[in-house]
C-alpha cells in the first residue's frame, strides 16, 4: 500500500524494491519521480538508484507530468524521447543555476538521466560547444560581473564562481576574453569596455 507524504504518494516497500532492482515486470504498473531531480522514470530505469526519501510514486506518466516532473531521457517513460533542444535547454538551465557547484559531465548525465557520451554529443550538436565549455563561459560571465561590481580579490571571485584556483581563473579568463581579470577590471574602471 502506498502512503502519502505531503501532496504526493511515496513508495511502498514493494515499489521501492522494484525501483532498486530495476524490475521491468513492474513497468506500466507505476512510475516513480525523484523530487531532487524533477524527473520521472519507469521502475526498470537503469539510472543510479535515488534516495528513498526523494521518491514519489504515480499511477501514470500523465500524473507525473501534471505534478511538473519531466520524463527521463534514459528510460523514456512515455515511450518517446524528449526533443534534443528541449533536453539541452534543461541542462543549460541546470548549469546556470548550479555553476558554483562542482559539475562534471558525469554529474550532469546523472541529473538528466542520460549517458555522459550521449549528453556530450547531443549538447555539442545543439549548442556548438561542450557542456564543459558552456560551464566555463557561464563562470567567466559571472567573474566579469563580479570584477565590474566589486573590489574582491581574484581568488575570492574564483571561489564565488565555482573555480577553486585563482591561477585557473586567470588562465581561463585570459583564454576567453584576451585579458587577465585585473586588466579587465582596469579597463572597466577606465571606461574602455
Catalytically annotated residues:
41
Instruction: Label residue 151 left, alpha or beta by phi (over 0 means left) and psi (-120 to 50 means alpha).
Output: alpha
CA atoms within 13 A on the CB side of 58: 23
Identify the DSSP state of 71: E
**Cα 162 from Cα 134, distance rounded (Å):** 13
Phi, psi angles (nearest 5°) of residue 134 = -60, -45
**Cα 8 from Cα 91, distance rounded (Å):** 25
**Cα 20 from Cα 17, distance rounded (Å):** 5
3-5 vs 70-71, strand pairing mode: unpaired
- Spatial neighbors of 3 by CB under 8 A, at least 6 apart, are 9, 10, 12
Amino acid at each position: 500500500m502506498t502512503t502519502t507524504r505531503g501532496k504526493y504518494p511515496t513508495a511502498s516497500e514493494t515499489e521501492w524494491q522494484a525501483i532498486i532492482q530495476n524490475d521491468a515486470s513492474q513497468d506500466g504498473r507505476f512510475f516513480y519521480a525523484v523530487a531532487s531531480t524533477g524527473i520521472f522514470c519507469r521502475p526498470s530505469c537503469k539510472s543510479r538508484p535515488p534516495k528513498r526519501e526523494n521518491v514519489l510514486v504515480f499511477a501514470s506518466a500523465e500524473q507525473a507530468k501534471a505534478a511538473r516532473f519531466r520524463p527521463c531521457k534514459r528510460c523514456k517513460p512515455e515511450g518517446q524521447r524528449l526533443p534534443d533542444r528541449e533536453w539541452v535547454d534543461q541542462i543549460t538551465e541546470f548549469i546556470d543555476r548550479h555553476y558554483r557547484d562542482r559539475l562534471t559531465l558525469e554529474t550532469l548525465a546523472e541529473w538528466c538521466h542520460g549517458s555522459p557520451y550521449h549528453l556530450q554529443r547531443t549538447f555539442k550538436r545543439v549548442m556548438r560547444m561542450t557542456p564543459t565549455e558552456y560551464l566555463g563561459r557561464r563562470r567567466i560571465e559571472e567573474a566579469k560581473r563580479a570584477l565590474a561590481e566589486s573590489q574582491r580579490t581574484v581568488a575570492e571571485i574564483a571561489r564565488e564562481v565555482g573555480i577553486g584556483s585563482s591561477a585557473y581563473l586567470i588562465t581561463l579568463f585570459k583564454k576567453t576574453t584576451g585579458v587577465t581579470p585585473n586588466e579587465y577590471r582596469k579597463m572597466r574602471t577606465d571606461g574602455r569596455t
